Amino acid sequence: MEYFLQQVINGLQIGFVYALIALGYTMVYGIVRLINFAHGDVFMIGAFIGLYAVERYQWPLTAVFVSAVVGCTILAVLIEQLAYRPLRHAPKIASLITAIGVSLFLEYFTSLRQVFGPHFYSFPRPFPVVRWNWHGILVTNIQAVIFFVTVFCLLLLQFIVFRTKMGRAMRAVSFDYVTAGLMGVNVNVVISFTFGLGAALAGVGGVLYGIAYPQVNTFMGFMPGLKAFTAAVLGGIGNIPGAVLGALIMGQSETMVSAYVSSAYRDGIAFVILILVLLWKPTGILGTPRTEKV
């Protein structure tokens, strides 16, 4: 029982990080219907900014998060303006291939010796690790930090999306962007803002990932990105609570399979669940069924 609860805690830890990445995917998809493959690499850049801030400059934790958020936001807005905006009215597949191109570029450009380098770098712990033992279940302050930072981000996001003018504009654009434009919403600004907001969350996620699994590499964004996207689809893409739910399911299933079956099947199980869920509910757990118009 203790072992099981311990695994639940470990699953929550990775699930929360996936949730932060999945939100970026789901918001961007909700607005421009684009699978933003470069998002996982923005997450990687966030982790590297965190690495530099902690190791080289020894900034306090808050400054580390802020620098990662700012860096990722600027990067994502740049990518959106340079690569995706010119293709907004082209066939959807052109943007998708461009997204893959941006993703490959970020991975291989940063892995050059002249940039970050191709190796694995250890991410120093920015604070001493404290372990609490509660009836045989170990909880670390790292997990506490991940939990509180993620919940804070989710509440902030909920506030932005449902309580601000920009949030209302985002929901309007996601519902119907032509009409939203006609109603005086500046669609371009809203789309850039969405990319930036998603990237900010990915930046926070990158730093948290670095703290929890203290090794970073320029290709580290690929698998978490893919899984986070899958989580977003699992929960119903375009749906914010769905993304979090999907990410938590993803984290749990992955941890449980590693713990009870074999860690070799860890990457596979998430996708088995995805395919099963899609067969049962083709638009994801919390997704609304789409009506076909003739």
Contacts to another protein by CB under 8 A: 33, 35, 83, 86-87, 90-91, 93-94, 97-98, 100-105, 107-109, 111-113, 118, 226, 229-230, 233, 237, 262, 264-265, 267-268, 270-272, 274-275, 278-279, 282-283, 290, 292, 294
The nearest distance, CB 40 to another protein, in angstroms, is: 12
Instruction: Kindly tell me which of 15 and 236 has the beta carbon lying closer to another protein.
Output: 236
The nearest distance, CB 280 to another protein, in angstroms, is: 10
Instruction: Kindly tell me which of 165 and 280 has the beta carbon lying closer to another protein.
Output: 280
Instruction: Kindly tell me which of 76 and 274 has the beta carbon lying closer to another protein.
Output: 274
Instruction: Kindly tell me which of 66 and 226 has the beta carbon lying closer to another protein.
Output: 226
The nearest distance, CB 290 to another protein, in angstroms, is: 8
Instruction: Kindly tell me which of 60 and 118 has the beta carbon lying closer to another protein.
Output: 118
The nearest distance, CB 148 to another protein, in angstroms, is: 31
The nearest distance, CB 35 to another protein, in angstroms, is: 7
Q: Tell the residue number behind the tokens 């929550």, with chain if given.
A: 12
The nearest distance, CB 91 to another protein, in angstroms, is: 6
Instruction: Kindly tell me which of 129 and 264 has the beta carbon lying closer to another protein.
Output: 264
Q: How far apart are the first and last CA of the chain?
A: 54
The nearest distance, CB 167 to another protein, in angstroms, is: 25
**CB 53, CB 64: distance < 8 Å:** yes
Instruction: Kindly tell me which of 94 and 139 has the beta carbon lying closer to another protein.
Output: 94
Strand partners, 133: 138
Instruction: Kindly tell me which of 147 and 271 has the beta carbon lying closer to another protein.
Output: 271
Non-local CB neighbours of 236 within 8 Å, separated by 6+ positions: 242, 246, 283, 284, 285, 286, 287, 288
**Burial of 88: CB neighbours in 10 Å, binned 0-12, 13-18, 19+:** middle
**Burial of 292: CB neighbours in 10 Å, binned 0-12, 13-18, 19+:** exposed
The nearest distance, CB 16 to another protein, in angstroms, is: 22
